[in-house]
Amino acid sequence: MPAARGEYDQMEPLSDDVPALEDFSVGEILGRLPGLVALVYGSEHRVAYVNDAYAAAFGPRPAGTPAATGCPEADELGLLPLMDQVLRSGKPRTVKSRRTQDGGSYTVTCLPVDTPRHGGGVLVHAADVTDHAEAAERLRASERRHRETAVTLQRSLLPQELEQPDDLRIAATYQPGGTDAAVGGDWYDVITLGAGRTALVIGDVMGRGVRAAAVMGQLRTAVRAYARLDLAPHEVLQLLDGLAAEIDASQIATCVYAVHDPNEGRLVYASAGHLPILVRDEDGSVRRAEEPTGPPLGTGGWLHSSGTIALPPGSTAVLYTDGLVERRREDIDEGVAALERALAGATGTPQVVCDRLLRALGVTAEHDDDVAVLVLQHPSRTGPDAELFHNAALELLGGVEAAPRARAFASGVLSSWRFPTELRDLGVLATSELVGNSLQHGTPPMRLRLRRTDRRLIIEVTDGDDHLPRRRRAETEDEAGRGISIIATIASSWGSRRTPGGGKAVWCEFALRD
């Protein structure tokens, strides 16, 4: 049986041959250590001893040589201040992975040694961590290349140049997170829909790295395709929701899709789990588009809906991702409130507003998340600039006799806008064809709207029927089916869309020559 604890004190040594620690030579022990060891003493740190490993790494050091002059590696590794600290405090100090000029890396520990006759000493122990340091550097280099690839992919998938509508001024900013943050999937876009309408979109794929950027690129491409269908914002998000689940069910994305119509002076928008649009009015007050907001894209099982927020002349709207307002240990509503305060005082061009918001929210090059900001302004036009923008509308009442009234109205309006004869005649012809098509295939209420900007003439007819026209080949003997073909031939562009309430709008544009 094992001896009781108290019996050990009375037991005889097993053998008189067992050595004690004092039987060993300190120099012999230190000399055989694989680590690099040096002993220095006094305020000048004179070398008293170096072991074989130290001499093999840095060469022999004559006894009594001051480290400041005889040990250049001590200066390279930053050991002289460290040894001073150890002498003063009597406490050990360690520095990690310091590099010498020959490329070696060492982790060094300095221990105080009691040598009263020589003013104290320091035992220096250095471990060669060159292989570890090189492996760590290779890993960091690999991570940098991966991040650079993701940033390059991210930037290449964002629009290289924003479309600039006639009625809005727009700027956007994307800033990746700092070097310690993986690149995310923030994105934005501006899409011209025709008839003066513009789609604006911003989103955030909730992931990091190349995969998130790739998913973002697919969603952005899909938004552009769906936008060409000129659907309501909530219908676009409904399509995106299904697509996001098909692309990668593990990647969740938030998104806001908004449409601006200059004739209505408002944004119609739908949100899939995204932060609210903010609007600054001309007087500096800030409004928040609170509802409706559905779940993020890719969750499925939700019917999105559209909301509206006024965007009158002189106002500025801001769409943004959570990297702008989200901070650790802070509620995101506090970040949105801080953005509201910053926007209230942010004036200037859209790009100036972008820059001011980033500064006000403390976004720097070392920010820990991606940030995307999209700023649009509905300018308040006065003077000569205002003369380039006009609207005119006519309610189409009375059946077939509405056609000649529409032609006369268009001729008078286009003449008052001082268009050349050729463009005026084309505008009257387009009006006649669009109104005739609506009278034949549409239902009341019907309306003709003419709009000119500094770059184009827009003619649009709305009615209460939701069947969209399509261009088709008319045979020689056909008496109908030529109207849309004529429009497509004479106009710069044309299109149609369904309107809220079950109707449709058919439009065409003529580019104005400089």
**pLDDT band, very low/low/confident/very high, at 21 (cuts 50, 70, 90):** low
Please indicate, yes or no, whether the overall pTM of this predicted structure exceeds 0.85: no
Report the alpha-carbon distance of residue 127 to residue 56 in Å, rounded: 13
Cis peptide before 81 (omega within 30 of 0): no
Mode of pairing for the β-strands spanning 266-272 and 293-294: parallel
**pLDDT band, very low/low/confident/very high, at 1 (cuts 50, 70, 90):** very low
Sheet holding 93-99, edge to edge: 46-50, 36-41, 121-128, 105-113, 93-99
Last residue of a domain, one of 378, 406, 426: 378
Last residue of a domain, one of 378, 406, 427: 378
CATH number of the domain within which 400 lies? 3.30.565.10
CATH number of the domain within which 106 lies? 3.30.450.20
Q: Give Rg (Cα) of the chain.
A: 38
Mean pLDDT, rounded, of the chain: 86
Last residue of a domain, one of 354, 378, 402: 378
**pLDDT band, very low/low/confident/very high, at 472 (cuts 50, 70, 90):** low
For residue 413, give its domain range: 383-511
Report the alpha-carbon distance of residue 284 to residue 281 in Å, rounded: 5
Q: What is the DSSP letter of 229?
A: T
Q: Are 475 and 392 contained in the same domain?
A: yes
Provide the percentage of residues in the chain whose pLDDT is more than 90.
48
Cis peptide before 60 (omega within 30 of 0): no
In a domain, 234, yes or no: yes
What residue has token string 């900013």?
Answer: 173
Encode burial over 266-292: b for 16+ CB neighbours within 10 A, e otherwise. Answer: bbbbbbbbbbbbbbbeeeeebbebeee
- Residue 98 has phi, psi (to 5 degrees) of -90, 145
Q: What are the angstrom distances between the C-alpha of 395 and each of 143, 424, 444? A: 64, 21, 10
Provide the percentage of residues in the chain whose pLDDT is more than 70.
90
Report the alpha-carbon distance of residue 320 to residue 349 in Å, rounded: 17
Q: What is the DSSP letter of 117?
A: G
**CA 402 distance to own-chain centroid:** 51
In a domain, 1, yes or no: no
CATH number of the domain within which 248 lies? 3.60.40.10
Contact 294, 270 (CB under 8 A): yes
- Residue 345 has phi, psi (to 5 degrees) of -105, 5
Q: Are 239 and 285 contained in the same domain?
A: yes
Contact 166, 196 (CB under 8 A): yes
In a domain, 390, yes or no: yes
Number of domains, the chain: 3
pLDDT tens digits, 283-322: 999 999 988 889 999 887 788 999 999 999 999 999 999 9
pLDDT tens digits, 93-114: 998 888 887 788 899 999 998 8
In a domain, 460, yes or no: yes
Q: Are 417 and 490 contained in the same domain?
A: yes
Q: Are 388 and 475 contained in the same domain?
A: yes
Residue 460 is predicted with a pLDDT of 97
- Residue with more model confidence, 59 or 208: 59
**pLDDT band, very low/low/confident/very high, at 5 (cuts 50, 70, 90):** very low
Whether the per-residue pLDDT at 8 is higher than 50: the answer is no
DSSP string of 305-354, one letter each residue: --EEEE--TTEEEEEE-GGGT-BTTB-HHHHHHHHHHHHHT--SSHHHHH
